[in-house]
Amino acid sequence: MPVLLAALALALWINFAPFTRLTQPLAAARVAHLPATTPFYSGQRIMVLSPHHDDETLCCGGLIQQARAAGAEVYLTFMTSGDGFEFDAAFEGRQLRPGPQAFRDLALKRMDEARAAARVLGVPASHLSFLGYPDGGLLHLFLENYATPYLSPTTQLNRVGYDGALNPGSSYTGLNLERDLDARLDAVKPDLLLVPAPQDAHPDHRTTGYLALRLMARRGQAGRLRFWVVHGGLEWPLPKGVHRTSPLTLPSRGMNLAWTRADLTPAQVLQKARAIREYRTQMLLLGRFMEAFERKNELLSTTPLPPGPVLHGH
């Protein structure tokens, strides 16, 4: 209990405006000195791996617009169906204790929201792919359930249960998730793959980053990966809420990654904000967190590790 209270006090203090005013100029200066992201080019094939519906817009809504403006093709692949968010299912289903059906309904709603957000960002519907694996369960698929199906505690499903998914009926195993993502990589052949960094705090995000590294390294294409963070630790991003002329500063969990900065035009920030608002089920409970990504820049790391000497093993 004292630990919980201390954590709450820390969160309150960090969110407290004078603290942010004190630390923000330093954090902003650090972002200002970052190198720019490599420009996109016509015909380039870019895929964003999104653990949940909304991550692709939060991390990369501006980059996606810039890629489209340069004539690049953008593909979005959603790893989970976002069917594990209890408060959200309760809200949407108007039930205090949502049953499996409420979680499944939420998944279908979130898939529609993802389609709407993609439309706002200029990504054609045919470039979206929903793998449909369990929200909150991805790490289990690689720890305990690589070959034996995982049972989702929220939807009570042990297989992909949604029409519109890539492989409906596919058992929830690591093997199948790996096969489905591999098939998407074969079909799209991305020149650039934007994925969560291993430092992201959410287990679904870390697992997505791990799987992307594994599959791209096996193809000899690990150099095509770029990494982003959405759950950056210590209440990041600060300040919460709408601050569209402020920079997105470095996340505490990935402070020393090889960051590059993409500057967004005011029009691109506005369009990103519109896409974020298509996620109505998420805005309801996480609004101020999501709005904190409406900033004048986005961040991508060129490696999953901080730059530094590489120790060669045997």
Interface residues toward Zn ion, by CB under 5 A? 51-52, 55
CB 282 within 8 A of CB 229: no
Minimum CB–partner distance for residue 38 and Zn ion (Å): 25
Minimum CB–partner distance for residue 64 and Zn ion (Å): 16
Minimum CB–partner distance for residue 233 and Zn ion (Å): 14
Q: In the bound complex, which residue of the shown chain has the CB atom lying closest to Zn ion?
A: 52
Of 37 and 50, CB closest to Zn ion: 50
Which amino acid type is present at position 303?
A: T
Of 209 and 247, CB closest to Zn ion: 209
Distance from C-alpha of 158 to C-alpha of 55, rounded to nearest angstrom: 24
Of 40 and 227, CB closest to Zn ion: 227
Minimum CB–partner distance for residue 11 and Zn ion (Å): 19
Residue 57, phi then psi, degrees to nearest 5? -80, -40
Of 79 and 264, CB closest to Zn ion: 79
CB 29 within 8 A of CB 59: no
CB 145 within 8 A of CB 312: no
Of 207 and 246, CB closest to Zn ion: 207
Distance from C-alpha of 83 to C-alpha of 162, rounded to nearest angstrom: 11
Give me the helix-helix angle, 280-291 and 100-121, nearest 10°.
60
Minimum CB–partner distance for residue 75 and Zn ion (Å): 18
Tokens 């790391």 belong to: 301
